[in-house]
Amino acid sequence: MNPNHNPATPPHQNLPPYPAPDSMPPQPQGTTSFWQCLLAAMVWFGAMITLVSLTIELPSAKAAGGLIGSMLAPWLLTALITWLFFRRHRPGFGILLLVSLPSFAVLALVFGALRIVGRS
C-alpha cells in the first residue's frame, strides 16, 4: 500500500481533469468539392498535353485539337473517381494530386488504346 495515499481520498481525484471540449483542436469537417478534384486532374491533363506536345511536333491545329479532345474523357473520369474517394473527407490538395495521377495515367492509356483500335 502507498504510504502517501490518504484512504479517505479516492485515487481518481488526484488525477488532472480532462481538457474541456472547447480547448481540444477541432476535427476537420466538410467535404471535397468536385471542383477541387477537377483542378487536381487538370494538373495531369496539362502535364500530359505539354509532354506530348514537346515529344512530337503537332502538324496542325486539327491534330492539337484531336489531342486535347482525346484527353477530355480521362480528365473528367479522373476527377469523378477522385471525388468518389474523397467526397466525405477533406484532404489537402497534394493528396488529391497524388490520388488522381494513377487513375489519369491508366485512363489515358485505355482511351488511347481504344482510339488506336478504333482506327484499325
Per the domain annotation, does 46 fall within a domain?
yes
DSSP letters, 44-97, are HHHHHHHHHHHHS---SHHHHHHHHHHHHHHHHHHHHHHHHHHTT----HHHHH
Model confidence at 97, in pLDDT bands (50, 70, 90)?
very high
Number of independent structural domains in the chain: 1
Tell me if 24 is assigned to some domain.
no
Average pLDDT over residues 113-117: 89
| Structural domain that includes position 42 | 31-119
Reduced to 3 states (helix: H, G, I; strand: E, B; else coil), residue 7 is coil
Is position 64 within any domain? yes
pTM, entire model? 0.70
- Does a structural domain hold residue 35? yes
Confidence of residue 16 (pLDDT cuts 50, 70, 90): low
